[in-house]
Structure 1
Amino acid sequence: MTPAASTALITNDAVILGLLAVTLGAVFWTASRPSGFWHKFYSYVPALLMCYLVPAIFNTVGLIDSSGSGLYPMARDYLLPSALVLFCVAMDFGAIVRLGPKALIMFLTGTVGVMLGAVISLVAIGIIHPPTVGGETWRGMTTIAGSWIGGGANQAAMKEVFEVDANLFGQFIAVDVIVAYFWMAILLFLAPRAKAFDSWTGADASAIENLQQRMASYQAEHERVPSMSDLMLIFAAGIGLTGLSHLLAGPLVAWVQSLPAAWNLQDYSLDSRFFWIVVFATTFGVLLSLTRARRLEGAGASNVGSVMLYVLIATIGMQMDLKSVVDRPMLLLLGVIWISVHAALMLGVAKLIRAPLFFLAVGSQANIGGAASAPVVASAFHPALAPVGVLLAVLGYALGTYCAYITGLMLQAIAT
């Protein structure tokens, strides 16, 4: 049967990519305005949401054709692994260790809170309103786990690994953005009240002052204007290791598929080529961070990775049908229960180990918001502390693929 002709106004991928590029440029330019209407607008509407929403509107009104486009597969297979490499290459284990054990404990508590919250929210909504978590809902939850432990790249990775339907993914994008930014707003509200919180936990605030001085020196030491050589090395690291990941994934998948079917390895996505591409890319990025290549972060490696990531986000957005977002409002309650478990665990551990509010806020946001918003929360305490949010968020990118995958397996076991 001949496929039906597209009714979209624009069907040429080159034109669509140009439109998405202009859209992303417009979003970031307007979001950078220091005053006026756009400054007020982005005080309430996150720029990240617009990067999803505007392409989704293009698709919903029939301006572009998402069904026949090859842009998302391109971004998924090439830009996503490259972004993971460039985010992970920025890891500075020495700097993370110097943050002290409480910072890492609160960060890892946030990770456990997301994993535990996924299980509890699935069970709770299963009791409150079973139809909401019926069918393939657990698959959509894996994408939030990827986002809330790592970031957008890990979220997209889980979408592919667990084969999440585009409409279901769109619904969980809405839950992700609404719940995550509401929690971020709470953290920003608490930031000016850090002294009262630290008094409640019994935390020693002097450690934060030392941290401010250390991070200000670190930032000044590593930042530089990137040269052409720097940019080409960044490009080589991201794209080159992505190519190597593709090269290794093919034979490995063929070997896994040759193993006895009784082992049921497909139930763990071990026969998925994309799964191994993501695992290899993340692992290569982490290993690269242990070498002198980590210096590329001073030239903007993670910024280049962010450009790749936002192109991916736009191609994901263009697949959404916005009309499907309002079909299942109880999913929002699932998200609220999920983030509440995370918040309760963070508060309990902070009180137990006498952690400052700064460590709670940044440790949480490094998981929930990733590199896009963790620095925002960190800088709410002091501008020099913004890199702390980046460092912990980058650690989240490294953990996001693995922990979200484990969470997905737990959700699958409960749902089935």
Structure 2
Amino acid sequence: MFTSTLTIAAVLAALIALSEWLATRTWLRHFGAALLVIVLTAIVANLGVIPTYGPDTPLYGAIFTYVAPLGIFWLLLLVDLRSLGQVGGPTLLLFLLGACGTALGAAAGHWVVGGADALGEQHAALAGMFTGTYVGGSVNYNAVALEYGVMEDAALYAGAAAVDNAMTTVWMVVCVTLPRLLVGFWPKAENQEERVAHGPIEDDGEVMRIFDLAVVIALGIAAVSLSDVLADSLKESAGLDIPSVLILSTLALVLAQLPMVQRIKGARLLGLLAVYLFLAVIGSLCDAEALMRMGELAPVLGVFVVVLVSVHGTVVFGAARLLKADLETASVASQANIGGGTSALALARSLGRSDLELPAILVGSAGLALGNYLGFTMVGLLGG
């Protein structure tokens, strides 16, 4: 097994390169490079070539903490707010309905598997953790786990995290394939045929100078640092708990409207590379060994999560059908719930919908706040 930071980074870079090649040169292009990065990294990690996610791999933590926000910032530098139109409204509505579907699914899954009798004394906390993570991401998952002491049971916590990340990967596959499978049965939205025909965005090449690259990197690092400082300052001075990613997104969007920033090259390439590194770490989270350590609880928790996301998916895609929203919008909104804003952004690119990139980030950021409330509410409702 490769364990040094440099060799793990080299393997991740090689997997990204392989995913890009497969997504452009083979029949796997229908799945897109984003999904291939997750799946290939999961396979390589579980084969023991590189470690699965854990405290002994600081590179993974650094990618989550620094590289993913940088990717968001760089890609948002490409957004011209004048061209967004009204696309954000349907995405936000479907995201909120999806959050409700997640909460309903958690309650349904808890009942289906038998509640405390099947899940043990931490049954309510587990339901709250999965509600939080499938609305706003792993930050909410860990917040509930810390509050109710789930982390003290290492096998339970690690196994539940493995189930969570395995389902996140599966749901990415679902969100990539459903728009293609259901397009013949779905009411046609305006320009839907053109959007489907365009397919994944593949040409991300840019001609850039060293000056451009240096400026983009400097802007990104400065913006991430400033957003963290502002978030901490607002919390201490005004009691406002605003996620730093929202501040970062605002900074990026303001800068993106400046003509001098629009002329700088390199943001697209750096942003995509950062997002792919983030997705590779998501793949490393799919730990088969952690699932095996759970014993009999693993299939029970698996059934619980399958019920949860099935209810969520029924709500999101059912609402999209009633509202006559297109399939790509529904998929991106759902992925923003289950996988978070960064994976939803990657999905939007895989589906050829660059117009959904900003809504994906924004609703995913909103989920960071909403997920905590729903997660703790679920624990209370189930008697935690």
Q: Does 1:111 align with 2:95?
A: yes
Contact 1:55 1:317 in 2 (8 A): no
Q: Does 1:53 align with 2:42?
A: yes
Distance 1:315 1:389, change over 3 A: closer
Query: Shift of the alpha carbon at 1:170?
Result: 2.0
Query: Shift of the alpha carbon at 1:287?
Result: 3.7
Query: Shift of the alpha carbon at 1:136?
Result: 4.0
Deviations 1:121-142 (A, max 9, x none): 1111221211348164232443
Contact 1:119 1:411 in 2 (8 A): yes
Q: Does 1:238 align with 2:209?
A: no
Query: Shift of the alpha carbon at 1:319?
Result: 5.4
Q: 2:253 aligns with which of 285, 289, 305?
A: 289
Query: Shift of the alpha carbon at 1:244?
Result: 1.8
Distance 1:250 1:393, change over 3 A: closer
Greater mean alpha carbon deviation, residues 399-408 or residues 238-247: 399-408
CA distance in 2, matches of 1:116, 1:141: 10
Listed as ranges, the matches of 1:47-196 within 5 Å are 47-59=36-48, 66-96=54-84, 98=85, 100=86, 103-129=87-113, 130=115, 131-132=118-119, 134=123, 136-137=125-126, 138-146=128-136, 155-158=137-140, 165-194=157-186
Q: Which letter maps to 1:289?
A: L
Distance 1:53 1:401, change over 3 A: same
Question: Which residue number corresponds to residue 390 of structure 1?
Answer: 357
Q: Does 1:365 align with 2:331?
A: yes
Query: Shift of the alpha carbon at 1:111?
Result: 0.6
Deviations 1:13-37 (A, max 9, x none): 22222222223322332333235xx
Say which SS state the counterpart of residue 282 (structure 1) adopts: helix
Deviations 1:23-68 (A, max 9, x none): 3322332333235xx669x69x941432540353255x78689542
Aligned length: 346
CA distance in 2, matches of 1:177, 1:316: 8
CA distance in 2, matches of 1:113, 1:169: 24
Q: Which letter maps to 1:247?
A: V
CA distance in 1, matches of 2:44, 2:233: 36
CA distance in 1, matches of 2:176, 2:24: 19
CA distance in 1, matches of 2:167, 2:52: 25
Q: Which letter maps to 1:109?
A: L
Say which SS state the counterpart of residue 11 (structure 1) adopts: coil
Deviations 1:156-196 (A, max 9, x none): 544565568444222111112223423542321122444xx
Question: Which residue number corresponds to residue 280 of structure 1?
Answer: 244
CA distance in 2, matches of 1:371, 1:297: 23
Question: Which residue number corresponds to residue 277 of structure 2?
Answer: 311
Query: Shift of the alpha carbon at 1:238?
Result: 1.9
Query: Shift of the alpha carbon at 1:228?
Result: 3.3
Q: Which letter maps to 1:24?
A: I
CA distance in 2, matches of 1:230, 1:116: 44
Q: 1:301 aligns with which of 267, 275, 288?
A: 267
Query: Shift of the alpha carbon at 1:86?
Result: 2.9
Say which SS state the counterpart of residue 367 (structure 1) adopts: helix
Q: 1:334 aligns with which of 290, 295, 305?
A: 305
Query: Shift of the alpha carbon at 1:411?
Result: 3.5
Distance 1:67 1:285, change over 3 A: closer
Say which SS state the counterpart of residue 312 (structure 1) adopts: helix
Give the TM-score normalised by the residue count of structure 1: 0.67
- Unaligned segments of structure 2, at least 5 residues: 152-156, 336-343
Greater mean alpha carbon deviation, residues 318-327 or residues 25-34: 318-327
Say which SS state the counterpart of residue 373 (structure 1) adopts: helix
Greater mean alpha carbon deviation, residues 285-294 or residues 109-118: 285-294
RMSD: 4.1
Say which SS state the counterpart of residue 329 (structure 1) adopts: helix
Greater mean alpha carbon deviation, residues 155-164 or residues 333-342: 155-164
Q: 1:30 aligns with which of 4, 22, 25?
A: 22
Deviations 1:310-361 (A, max 9, x none): 323434544553123465234345344434344335434643x5x3xxx331
Question: Which residue number corresponds to residue 339 of structure 2?
Answer: none
Question: Which residue number corresponds to residue 5 of structure 2?
Answer: 13
Contact 1:174 1:325 in 2 (8 A): no
CA distance in 2, matches of 1:117, 1:298: 42
CA distance in 1, matches of 2:130, 2:369: 17
Say which SS state the counterpart of residue 290 (structure 1) adopts: helix
- Computing the radius of gyration over CA atoms, which structure comes out larger, 1 or 2? 1
Contact 2:92 2:363 in 1 (8 A): no
